[in-house]
Amino acid sequence: MPNPLFSVLIANYNNGRYIEDAINSVLQQTYTNWEIVIVDDASTDNSLQILEKYTSDSRIKFFVNEQNRGCGYTKRRCAELASGEVCGFVDPDDAITENAVELMIQAHLANSEVSMVYSRFWHCNEKLEKISESFYQTQITAPDTYLTVQTGKVSHFVSFKRAAYNKTEGISAEYTRAVDQDLYLKLEEAGKILFINHALYYYREHLNGISNFHNTDKAFAWGILAKVDACRRRKISVEQVLPLFIKSVKTTTEFYESSTDYRLGKALLAPYRFLRYQILGKWWSNS
């Protein structure tokens, strides 16, 4: 594939305020063989009016869920509707650097055995102005895997070969958070993963972000379940491969169980309790 099509995948819900930044960052790419696939999850804001501005550009395709289905379902549909040999998700409230797609394509072409390529990103304020560069993304090397390292080692910008994605179960439609983490674990099972030491993504910090502020705890809980699912697929013990992760789960759970937030919202901690009593069981109570 000397000049492969790159599919930029955008799952949108009520991000009309920001989505033009995401789209325009793709329009400015140095690599030109791309498409944008946008699936709107029944937004109630002005997202559709914004997207209508781009209907004359045949490279930009957008679809609308008949009803709100959640992040996992919508991202899975993005992947199913994409035509590119290489794909990468951009959240509708974020953006990518001008050379992001070009560097990703180069990495995939030079490494046929790689299923996924990931990079660093820029922390940005709500205006998408740079605050700081991420520092915890590094190449994961054997005997470590994404299961055995701290969450966050693989992060934006991430791209993957469609051929590798097709070897997996695909994005889990029932996941409402940690959808990307679940996908990364699956792609690791389909091939090698490669880190490139460039910040290629602008990550916008704002109050309504899916993993920001009040949503951080929910995202962490779903991330636990993604790792447990990966252990089940790989037929390996949670305790065997995740001692450090389990310790962090225990610390976090004990903090929340003693907090007012827990008493006010037990549903938030259902995934924690599931992991504690169904997965860790006797180990937890004896540790």
Residue 230 has pLDDT above 90, yes or no: no
Q: What is the pLDDT of residues 162-185, one digit of tens each?
A: 999 999 999 988 888 788 889 999
The residue type of 24 is N
Q: What is the pLDDT of residues 66-102, one digit of tens each?
A: 999 999 999 999 999 999 999 999 999 999 999 999 9
**How would residue 194 be classed by pLDDT, with cut points 50, 70 and 90?**
very high
Q: Of 249, 201, 212, which is closest to residue 227 (Cα–Cα)?
A: 249
Helices and strands (H and E) in the chain: how many:
12, 9
Indicate the domain borders of the chain.
Answer: 6-204, 213-286
Residue 264 has pLDDT above 60, yes or no: no
- Number of Cβ within a 10 Å radius of residue 214: 11
pLDDT recorded at residue 241 = 63
pLDDT recorded at residue 220 = 73
Which strand (E) or helix (H) includes residue 248? helix 243-257
Task: For residue 167, count CB atoms less than 10 angstroms from its CB and return exposed for 0-12, middle for 13-18, buried for 19 or more.
Answer: middle
**How would residue 214 be classed by pLDDT, with cut points 50, 70 and 90?**
low
> What percent of the chain is predicted at pLDDT more than 90?
59
The residue type of 18 is Y
pTM value is 0.81
> What percent of the chain is predicted at pLDDT more than 70?
78
Task: For residue 119, count CB atoms less than 10 angstroms from its CB and return exposed for 0-12, middle for 13-18, buried for 19 or more.
Answer: buried
CATH of 6-204, one of 3.40.190.10, 3.90.550.10, 3.90.1150.10, 3.30.465.10: 3.90.550.10
| Helices 243-257 and 216-234, packing angle to 10 deg | 140
Q: What is the pLDDT of residues 129-172, one digit of tens each?
A: 999 998 888 898 888 888 777 666 788 899 999 999 999 999 98
